[in-house]
């Protein structure tokens, strides 16, 4: 499994801020040393309060995002409420664990906002689900963790979190050859789910003092 993950590469990350959750990824898909695609979708809107950032084999990631989205929508239709983030993480964990002997080649970050606030979970291919204030995944994650360990605070605003996400993913793209070709960022708070446009990311990046 580790060899397959190395072939795909990726940088994903998520963090909890005091007024929302920030989830980010880059866009490059690789096959060994070949850049196979420059606009790969690795950040998925699962529901109005949930985002999934994905690293691993593209086919597995697409199947799992569709599976989770369908289950979350069924939950809302049956109960009339949005699924809590920890329940969505447990659901995905169970899906992954059922295939642990023939696993999906993935690493996932699930983040969102519910009645108890912001949540970020790191999920592995065997179904482990670990909550944290911030986390990263994929081949670029060591560089992201370096930035997060230095700059993360419990009282971060979403605006500050977006700046840190841009710094972190940019650092990963500068050093990890499997990461690159742009940044996708989702912001989730009590009222909204927003994915920043390329223009918004570019504008914010230009304002960062290097």
Is 135 a residue of the active site? no
Residue 160, classified by CB atoms within 10 Å of its CB into exposed (0-12), middle (13-18) or buried (19+), is middle
**Cα distance from N-terminal residue to C-terminal residue, the chain:** 37
Question: For residue 136, which of 150, 126, 146, 151 has the smallest C-alpha distance?
Answer: 146
Rounded CA-CA distance 101/117 in Å is 35
Question: For residue 62, which of 101, 86, 29 has the smallest C-alpha distance?
Answer: 29
**SS3 for 199?**
helix
List the catalytic residues. 10
């Amino acid at each position: 499994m580790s060899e397959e993950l190395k072939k795909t590469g990726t940088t994903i990350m998520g963090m909890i801020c005091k007024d929302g959750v920030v989830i980010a990824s880059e866009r490059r898909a690789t096959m060994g040393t070949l850049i196979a695609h420059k606009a790969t979708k690795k950040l998925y809107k699962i529901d109005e309060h949930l985002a999934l950032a994905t690293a691993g084999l593209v086919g597995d990631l697409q199947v799992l995002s569709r599976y989770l989205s369908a289950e979350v929508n069924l939950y809302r239709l049956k109960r009339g409420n949005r699924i809590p983030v920890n329940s969505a993480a447990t659901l995905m964990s169970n899906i992954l664990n059922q295939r642990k002997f023939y696993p999906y080649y993935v690493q996932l970050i699930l983040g969102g906002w519910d009645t108890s606030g912001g949540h970020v979970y790191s999920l592995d291919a065997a179904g482990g689900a670990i909550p944290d204030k911030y986390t990263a995944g994929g081949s670029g994650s060591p560089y992201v963790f370096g930035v997060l360990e230095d700059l993360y605070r419990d009282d971060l605003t979403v605006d500050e979190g977006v700046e840190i996400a841009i710094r972190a993913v940019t650092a990963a793209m500068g050093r990890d050859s499997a990461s690159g070709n742009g940044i996708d960022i989702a912001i989730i708070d009590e009222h909204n789910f927003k994915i920043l446009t390329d223009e918004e990311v570019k504008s914010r990046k230009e304002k960062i003092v290097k």
